[in-house]
A = this chain, B = another copy of it.
Amino acid sequence: MTKYEKLTLEELKLQIQNILNKYTDKESIYKISEIYDRNLSTEASKILENELEKLLKPYQKGSIGLAQINPIAGDIEYNSKKVVKYIQHAQNIGLDLVIFPELTLMGYPIEDTIDRHPIIVEENVKWLKQIAKITTKTTAIVGFVEPRKYDHLTGKKYFNSVAVLKNGKIEGIIRKSLLPTYSEFNDYRYIEPSPVIGNQPGETLGDFDNGKIKKCQMTNEINNLKYGISICEDCWNNKEFFNDTTLYSIDPIEELSKENPDVFINCSASPTRAKKEQLKHNMLSFISKKYSTPIVYVNQVGAIDNSSFDGSSRVFDKNGKLLARAKSFKEQFLIVNPHMELGKIYPLTKGLEKTLTETKAYTLEYEPDLERTYKTIIQGIKDYFKKTGFQRAVLGLSGGLDSTICAVLLADALGPENVFGVSMPSKITSSESKSDAKELAQNLGINFTEAPIKEMVETTNNCLQSLFKTVETKWDGRYTQSFTMDNIQARSRAIFLWGISNEFAKCLPIATSDKSELYMGYATINGDMSGGFAPIADVPKTKLFALAHWLNKNREVKNAIPEAIILKKPGAELAIDPKTGKPLIAEDALMPYEFLDEIIWRIENKKEHYYDMLNSKFLYEERNEITKEQKIQWLDKFYRRMSSALYKWSILPPSVIVDSRSINKYDYKQPITSSRINYKGLEENDILEKIMEFSKL
C-alpha cells in the first residue's frame, strides 16, 4: 500500500464535490475511486463510499469490483486484511461481486512451502471460513489453497481453488484444472488438477475428489446473472487461438460456455515477461468474442522473489473490445459492469502492449520495452526489500554502466536516502571512473563515499603469493596467467559492501552483474555477482545502454547519468591489457556485446543452435565486416564460456525475471554437470563412424 495520505474530511468533501461538478456520473465513479485507492482513514472512506454507492445505484446489477492486490507469500493475516478491506468496500458501495486474484490468501507462488508446513494451509482455510462470515449479499470470490483428505488419496494433496462467499457462507468452490509447470511455474509439484470444470457446492471444501463430484451447474448464479469462473491457466488453452497447439487436452472455458454464462471471470496471478502481455490481451479478447461473453480478468500485482506481477486487470465486452483496465504495477480497486458499459481503461505501462521480442528478428531498438523493464525491476526491488524486512541498499559504484543503472533503479525503488554508493578504486581505477561515480551519486542524491581497496588488495596479495609458493611445492598446474589478482579486487570490494550490510540495520548489498556477462561467466564469485539482490541479472548489456538513455530522458531529474558513463567502453578495470597498457575492455576479452546479445536472443527466443547461427546473418554483420573465422571463434567462445557459467547461475542472488526467457534458476534449470554437451551436434555419418570405432574397442 502507498503511504497514508493525510486529507482532512473537509478537503475530501470538497474534492468530491469538485469531481461531481466537473465530471459525468460515470467518470466521477473513477475519480472518487482513485481517491479511495490512496488508502484513507475509516471516516474518510465512509464519506467517499456513500457517494460511490449513490453513483453506482444504476449500475448495480452485474457490478464487479476487481481487487488487484499485492500479497505476501504465506503471510495469511496480511493478505486477509486486504481481503477484508476490499470486501467491506464492495459491500459499502453496493456491488454485486468483488473478485480477488488466484491464491489470494496464500499469495502466488507459495511453492513447496505448503507441503513441508501444512499448518499454513490449515490457517488459510480457517481464515477463509471466518472471512466468509462477514460477507453479506455482496459475493466475494477469494483464492486459497484447498487441502484434500489425505487418507486413500489419489493425486497431490492440494487444490488451487477459489471460494464463492455470500451471506456469511461458502456457497461454492471452483478448482483449477490446468496446472502450469514450466518456466517459473511449478503448480503440478503440489496441486492436483480439478477432476471437474466449474462450480461445486461449498460443502465439498476439503473433502473432494473424482468420486465425490456433485451434480450442479458449472456456472455460478449471482443476482440473476450466470458467471463462468476459472483460475488463471484455465483460460489459456483455446485450441483455435493457439493454432491447435496447446498444452492441455481440455479447455475449461469451452466447457463453461456450454451453460451460456453472462460473464466469464478469471482469477489470475500472471507475472509480466517480455512478449507476454500482447498475447494475453489478444487471447482474452478472442475468447470473449468467440463466446459472445464478456470476460473479467483480475490479476495479482507486486513481486514475489523473482516474479514480478504487473496487475493490469481488465474486462473485455462480448465483442472482444476492451472495456476496462486497471493500472499496471499498482494496487487498485477497479469497479466495472461488463453489461452496462461501465469501465475505465487506465493506460498500460509502455512495453506491456508491444515488446521487442515479438518481432521476428533481433533488434537493438529496445525503446518500446524500456518503461516495462524499468517498472518491473523497480517493483521487484521494492517488494523484495519490503517483504523481507529490508530498507536500504549499498553498492559499489565503479563508474561503469552496470553499477550506474543499479544505482538509479535502487534510488527510484527505495528512495535516494536509502542507497549508499561506495567508490572503491584500486590502482587500476582511472580518475574518470572515480569522478563519474561521484557525479552520478550527486545527481541521484544518494549517499556516497570513496573507500580505496589498494591497501587491502596489497595485503591480501602478499599473503596469497606466499601461500601459492607453498601450494606450488605440492601441486603442479599453476597458471602462468590467472585471474587471481582481478578476483582479489572484486572480492575485496564485496567484503566492504557485506561489511556495511553486517554493521547497519536493514541493509542489503547489491550484485551488479548483467545478463550478457552472466552468460559468459564474466562475473566474480563472492565479488560483483554476490549480493542480497541482483537487479539487472536479466537485462543484456545492449539493452542497458538503451535503458541509460531512456532513464536520462524520462526520469524526473533529467540526465542523472553522466554522458561519459554511457560513452565509455565497458570493462571491469580489474586488469591491464598488455597490448594497450590500459584497463582491459570487456569486449576484447569476450566479443562485441551486440554480437553476444544476439546469440543469447537467438538461443532464448528461437532455440537456434550453433550452425543455425553460423549460417545466418547477425545484425552485427550487417554493420561490421567480419570473417567466418572470427564468427566461429566467437560462437565457440560463447558455448565454451556458457558451459562453465552454469555453476554461477546456480548461486546467483534473487533477481527479477524481465525477458521472455532467462537464466534465473527458478525459471530455467540445467544440470551443472551437463557442461559437456556438444552444442554443434554431429552428422549421421560421423555418428555411425564413431559407433564403429566404439565397437572395435
| Bound-state Cα–Cα, A154 to B243, Å | 11
| Bound-state Cα–Cα, A134 to B526, Å | 50
Most buried by B among A134, A460, A466: A460
In the complex, A653 has a CB within 8 A of chain B: yes
Shortest beta-carbon distance, A256 to chain B, in Å?
20
Shortest beta-carbon distance, A376 to chain B, in Å?
16
Which of chain B's residues have a CB closer than 8 A to the CB of A483? 502
B126–A687 CB distance below 8 A? yes
B449–A673 CB distance below 8 A? no
B72–A119 CB distance below 8 A? no
**Binary per-residue interface labels of chain A (97-138) against chain B in the complex, 1 for a CB within 8 Å, 0 otherwise:** 000000000010111110111111011001101110110000
B247–A155 CB distance below 8 A? yes
**For residues 439 through 472 of chain A, which have their beta carbon under 8 Å from a beta carbon of chain B?**
447, 449, 451, 453, 455-456, 459-460, 462-464, 466-468, 470-471
Which of chain B's residues have a CB closer than 8 A to the CB of A243? 152
A471–B449 CB distance below 8 A? yes
B609–A117 CB distance below 8 A? yes
**For residues 521 through 580 of chain A, which have their beta carbon under 8 Å from a beta carbon of chain B?**
525-526, 530, 532
A604–B677 CB distance below 8 A? no
In the complex, A678 has a CB within 8 A of chain B: yes
Which of chain B's residues have a CB closer than 8 A to the CB of A467? 422, 449, 451, 496, 499-500
Which of chain B's residues have a CB closer than 8 A to the CB of A697? 42, 85
Which of chain B's residues have a CB closer than 8 A to the CB of A688? 130, 133
B691–A126 CB distance below 8 A? no
Give the size category of A's interface with B: 35 or more
| Bound-state Cα–Cα, A108 to B345, Å | 49
Most buried by B among A78, A123, A156, A603: A123
| Bound-state Cα–Cα, A81 to B689, Å | 12
| Bound-state Cα–Cα, A203 to B50, Å | 71
| Bound-state Cα–Cα, A85 to B694, Å | 7
Shortest beta-carbon distance, A354 to chain B, in Å?
25
Q: Which of B304, B607, B676 contacts A673 (CB 8 A)?
A: B304
| Bound-state Cα–Cα, A133 to B690, Å | 13
Q: Which of B81, B156, B532, B666 contacts A247 (CB 8 A)?
A: B156
Shortest beta-carbon distance, A66 to chain B, in Å?
20
A112–B460 CB distance below 8 A? no
A468–B503 CB distance below 8 A? yes
Shortest beta-carbon distance, A483 to chain B, in Å?
5
Shortest beta-carbon distance, A249 to chain B, in Å?
5
Which stretch in A273-281, A385-393, A407-415 binds the other chain? A385-393
In the complex, A244 has a CB within 8 A of chain B: yes
Q: Which of B119, B459, B653, B665 contacts A459 (CB 8 A)?
A: B459
Q: Which of B42, B181, B525, B603 contacts A189 (CB 8 A)?
A: B181
Given contacts A85-B697, A467-B422, contact A487 B498 (CB under 8 A): yes
| Bound-state Cα–Cα, A603 to B117, Å | 8
| Bound-state Cα–Cα, A188 to B466, Å | 52
Which of chain B's residues have a CB closer than 8 A to the CB of A120? 677-679, 681
In the complex, A632 has a CB within 8 A of chain B: no
In the complex, A190 has a CB within 8 A of chain B: yes
| Bound-state Cα–Cα, A453 to B670, Å | 37
A123–B681 CB distance below 8 A? yes
In the complex, A216 has a CB within 8 A of chain B: no
B496–A464 CB distance below 8 A? yes
Q: Which of B74, B475, B479 contacts A677 (CB 8 A)?
A: B74
**For residues 472 through 522 of chain A, which have their beta carbon under 8 Å from a beta carbon of chain B?**
474-475, 477-479, 482-484, 487-488, 491-492, 494-496, 498-500, 502-507
Q: Which of B74, B150, B181 contacts A181 (CB 8 A)?
A: B181
Which of chain B's residues have a CB closer than 8 A to the CB of A420? 471, 474-475
In the complex, A340 has a CB within 8 A of chain B: no
B479–A499 CB distance below 8 A? no
**For residues 163 through 196 of chain A, which have their beta carbon under 8 Å from a beta carbon of chain B?**
181-182, 186, 188-190
Shortest beta-carbon distance, A348 to chain B, in Å?
26
In the complex, A651 has a CB within 8 A of chain B: yes
5 A–B contact pairs at CB < 8 A? Answer: A111-B670, A305-B672, A389-B676, A455-B463, A647-B654
Q: Beyond the given A182-B190, A420-B475, A422-B467, please list 9 additional residue pairs across the A-B interface where CB-CB is below 8 A.
A: A77-B682, A80-B691, A127-B687, A305-B672, A387-B675, A392-B475, A468-B499, A475-B507, A491-B498
